[in-house]
Structure formats: C-alpha cells, structure tokens
Amino acid sequence: MAAEYTVRTLSKLAGVSPRTLRHYDALGLLRPAGTKVSGYRFYGPTELERLQRILFYRELGLPLEGIRKVLDAPGYDDLAALREHRRALVERWRRTEALVELLDRTISEKEGRIRMNDQERFKAFQKDLVESNERKYGAEARRKYGDEVFDASNRKVLAMDEVKMKEAQDLASAVVEKFLAAFESGDPAGPLAREGAEMHRRWLCLYWKKYTKAAHAGLVRMYVEDSRFTAYYDQHRPGLAAFLRDSVLAWLGEPAQDPPQP
C-alpha cells in the first residue's frame, strides 16, 4: 500500500511549512489526495511527485501561478521538464562556480598574492552575458546570420576590457533614452530618431565583427517579430520596439516592412 502523508508529515519530509502546503491547496497548485474520516487531509504518491516538481520550478524562480499553468498545461511533458530543469540548474551551477573562482582570485589579488589584468577581472561577467544571449536568442540569430557571425560576436564580447564593457552598457542605456525622447515626437524619421539610429549602429559595432546595413535592418525587424525583443523595449513604453524598427529602417533608407513574396 502506498504511503500517505498528512500536511504535517509531508511538510517535514519535503522541508516546507504546513502553511505553505495549505497555501498551495488554496491556489489549486497542490490539492490533497483526499480527506480521512478523522478530517485530516492526506497526500499520496501523485501529490508527492507534483510537490517535487513545484519545488524544482520554485528554485528556478518561476512564480506560483506560472508553475500551476505549466504543470496543468494539456501538453505538459514531465520527462522533458525534468531534463530542462537539469540543464538550467547545471548552467546556474557553472555560472556560480565561475563567480566563486573570480572572487577567490580577487581576494588573492587584494592580499597581494597575484595580479589580474582588466580582462580577467570581468571574464566571469562577460561569459555570463554570452551564455545568456546564447540561451535567449542564439537559435534565431544563428539561423538568421550563421554560426560564424554569431561566434565572432561572442569572441568580441569575451575580449572586452572594463572600459569597453562600460562603454557598451552606457551606450545601450543611452540608445533607449534617445528613442524614448524620439517616441514623444511621434516622427520615426525626425532628428531625434536619426540620432538614435546612429547610436544604435555604434552600439552594434561594439559587438559585431562586421557591420552591414542589411544585418542592421534584419535585427530591428526581429525586434518586432520576436516577442522577447518586443517585450524588452516595450517595457519602457508600449510601441517602442516598432518605433525603433521604423526609425532605423528610415535612417537606412529601407522599407518599413519586408516586401511581399512573389
């Protein structure tokens, strides 16, 4: 006979509080298997498995409502989800390991035992940026521009020193501010928008091995076609991604939309 757990015994087994289990029940995230004659709610093997999955997702930072939607989705694949959990946790572990190593070297330098150059000082952060971009946009970018172009961009980021890193970060913020100001004017071909487009080109050149107008146009079109890019710019102002695209395309002398296919 399968083991059955009360709220209290399950909380001890799983390391969560009884209050948390009751909260999960109220949200519809984890319902008890049933209620005994005594009035105690109990959980069985299915609920234990679901609780483990909930805790996995919680560890990855997913909000509770998001976890419920994932687990209850019609096409939910438990094995695929477990494999993705493992991949994400290994990736996090590697990033943490790299940061711990950098901290150890920084402490050693502070103690006068070693000296680090500027590139070494920021290597872990640069690697994290490259891996994050690969994870979020790598597949689409490689299909659009090819492995050689994308790999060359990654190498350029990893070779940045402190000055270049700060320049890239400051310019990225300035691009958004410029386009926000241009957005208020309502003219994607106006002076502020043209300044923003040129700044955007300079920002790209910090990452790209070779700049081309065609690649620039393709990228800003992706800002609207890919919801992740759209969300990044539209968090500042709804419609900003489309305005940025139109501004850059106007500056490049390109049509706002791709021509229809014959």
Instruction: Single out the residue of 200, 190, 199, 179 nearest to residue 243, CA to CA.
Output: 179
Contact between 179 and 244 under an 8 Å Cβ cutoff? The reply is: yes
Cα(60)–Cα(48) distance, integer angstroms: 19
Choice among 15-24, 56-65, 82-91, 196-205 with the minimum mean pLDDT: 82-91
> Under CATH, what is the fold of the domain 5-72?
Multidrug-efflux Transporter Regulator; Chain: A; Domain 2 (1.10.1660)
**Under 8 Å CB-to-CB from 158, ≥6 apart: which residues?**
123, 126, 127, 130
- Give percent above pLDDT 70 in the chain: 79
pLDDT at 257 over 50: yes
Mean pLDDT score of the chain: 83
Band (pLDDT 50/70/90 cuts) for residue 164 is confident
> Under CATH, what is the fold of the domain 155-252?
Globin-like (1.10.490)
Tell me what pLDDT residue 36 has. Answer: 86
What's the predicted TM-score (pTM) here? 0.47
- Residue-wise pLDDT for 123-147, tens only, equals 656 566 666 666 665 666 666 666 6
- Mean pLDDT (whole number) for 234-244: 92
Cα(259)–Cα(262) distance, integer angstroms: 9
pLDDT at 261 over 60: no
Cα(15)–Cα(59) distance, integer angstroms: 13
Choice among 20-29, 102-111, 156-165, 181-190 with the minimum mean pLDDT: 156-165
- Give percent above pLDDT 90 in the chain: 40
